[in-house]
Amino acid sequence: MRISVTGCGYLGAVHASAMAKLGHDVIGIDVDEPKIASLAQGEPPFFEPELPELLTASIASGRLRFTTDPAAAAEATVHFVAVGTPQTSDGNAADLSYVDAAIDALLPHIGDGHVVVGKSTVPVGTAAKLAERIHETGARLVWNPEFLREGYAVRDTVEPDRLVYGVEPGDDASVAVLDEVYAHALELGTPRMVTDFATSELVKVAANAFLATKISFINAMAEIAEATGADVTQLADAIGHDSRIGRRFLNAGVGFGGGCLPKDIRAFTARAEELGRGEAVAFLKEVDGINLRRRKRVVDLATAELGGSVVGRKVAVLGVTFKPHSDDVRDSPALDVAVALKGLGAAVVAVDPKGVANARVRHPQLDYAEDATDALRGADLVILVTEWPEYVGLDPVATRELVAGATVIDGRNALDRDAWVGAGWRYRGMGRS
Ligand code: UDX
């Protein structure tokens, strides 16, 4: 298939590279010139495991090119739209300006027999509106939500756990086109569901709302555990053995962040309110509230551990990204904690294997260490906020030699508590005594 992908960020760059690997002819389009220049040289402008190898191989095959020229879309007949839908600066709704701009740029270059495939996460009702404009060119629209996780994006794109096509009634032709695009995944037996536009749009936000709720549920239990002396990790293990509940996404800690979960639950709430159904998802405000309280909990714990004031005390913050195996610091709980402690007067030194460059752009006021040893040396307090394997695997005995005060706050309940306590550390977890 001849494919264009508009928007070459975390989603689009991986999608374009993966589609080329699967044998399609792909042109990646983005308005960001430095990003396109870097991708064209086989260098992803962000960190994503397996992407550099995939990108290089796809470019070498001659099936993947990148450009800033929207007219290049005319070479393709299937047009993926993978631009971002961030939170608006003045509210909770999703900012659709990048989606609108992408469609505006595509319209002059599409026509009969073309299929536009929306992958961006959008408020329910968006596809129906866009379809009217797309139909005027003779092309069709499919909404095909993306469920990839950063850190596993390549695997999730090549072998997704399900495919959802939102189509207009009777649009079998577009279904057949997408089946050809995704022939590899379908041959592997990937479940594929054909729905209407609204259902496909809702599948994505409902999935993310559910995951966010699951995390906030266990973090709410952590709050109760903290008041009672119970241990939330044992609680999660015990309820997780019930297969109806399941253990995944029940890790209590500093909560969820990133470019998807936080903004998606807020946009969902805003859209439901517009539809007069705000009550149906009012619980998502609680989910958001519980989540944000966990960041404050870490800051409060740090203050308490340092005797009521952090002023002038050296705090080593391990991790700035919203999760390991990513360089993404969007709405990162780790970075929020570092910034809050700095705001309270602590001498914060943050460190991260991949996220420092992005963090520095957003928060140049923080001090960043070259490596964990550098961050830990002379620290009065250590806080683990992103569970990178290199921090989880720190040797508590050797680490103790580096610090001034042997207290660790485990913001992800990821450290081996017994080993740290055994090495003479005072250990504070989340929702554990
Ligand atoms: C998420 C969805 O998983 C994915 O399907 C969707 O396409 C985009 O949004 P992602 O943002 O990459 O993916 O991260 P995810 O792995 O879901 O983690 C989100 C946040 O939740 C991270 O900050 C993570 O640390 C946190 N988390 C996850 C917890 O706090 N506890 C858990 O048990 C699981």
Q: Please, which residues bridge with residue 28 across strands? A: 5, 66
Helix (H, G, I), strand (E, B) or coil at 96: coil
pLDDT digits (tens, 9 = 90+) for 166-193: 999 999 999 999 999 999 999 999 999 9
Instruction: Identify whether 360 is part of a domain.
Output: yes
d(CA 181, CA 158): 11
In the residue annotation, 260 being an active-site residue is answered as yes
Q: What's the confidence (pLDDT) of residue 341?
A: 98
**Nearest atom (ligand 1) to Cα of 253:** 30
Q: Ligand 1 pocket: which of 157, 211, 216 to mutate (most atoms <8 Å of CB)?
A: 211
pLDDT digits (tens, 9 = 90+) for 250-298: 999 999 999 999 999 999 999 999 999 999 999 999 999 999 999 999 9
Single out the residue in 233, 263, 288 at which a domain terminates.
Answer: 288
Instruction: Identify whether 176 is part of a domain.
Output: yes
Confidence of residue 160 (pLDDT cuts 50, 70, 90): very high
Q: What's the confidence (pLDDT) of residue 433?
A: 78
Instruction: Identify whether 406 is part of a domain.
Output: yes
Mean pLDDT computed over 398-421 = 98
Residue 356 vs residues 34, 45, 397: alpha-carbon distances, Å: 20, 14, 26
Confidence of residue 37 (pLDDT cuts 50, 70, 90): very high
pLDDT digits (tens, 9 = 90+) for 99-122: 999 999 999 999 999 999 999 999
Same domain for 271 and 301? no
Instruction: Considering the candidates 13, 124, 260, 320, report the single residue annotated as catalytic.
Output: 260
Mean pLDDT computed over 362-383 = 97
The secondary structure element, H or E, covering residue 206 is helix 197-228
Same domain for 266 and 327? no
Mean pLDDT computed over 363-390 = 98
Does 45 score more than 90 pLDDT? yes
Residue 212 in contact with ligand 1 by CB distance below 6 A? no
Q: Can you give the CATH number for the domain in which 403 is found?
A: 3.40.50.720
Range of the domain at 158: 2-195
How high is the mean pLDDT of the chain? Answer: 98
Does 59 score more than 90 pLDDT? yes
Confidence of residue 224 (pLDDT cuts 50, 70, 90): very high
Does 308 score more than 90 pLDDT? yes
Q: Ligand 1 pocket: which of 294, 323, 329 to mutate (most atoms <8 Å of CB)?
A: 323
Q: How far is the CA of 310 from the centre of ligand 1 (A)?
A: 30
pLDDT digits (tens, 9 = 90+) for 257-268: 999 999 999 999
Residue having the nearest C-alpha atom to atom 2 of ligand 1 = 149
Contact status, residue 20 vs residue 36, Cβ threshold 8 Å: no
Single out the residue in 226, 257, 288 at which a domain terminates.
Answer: 288
pTM for this one? 0.97
Confidence of residue 390 (pLDDT cuts 50, 70, 90): very high
Instruction: Identify whether 200 is part of a domain.
Output: no
Residue having the nearest C-alpha atom to atom 25 of ligand 1 = 323
Kindly provide the residue ranges of all beta strands, DSSP E only, lying in 284-405, ordered along the sequence.
314-318, 347-351, 367-368, 381-384
Mean pLDDT computed over 414-423 = 98
Contact status, residue 381 vs residue 355, Cβ threshold 8 Å: no
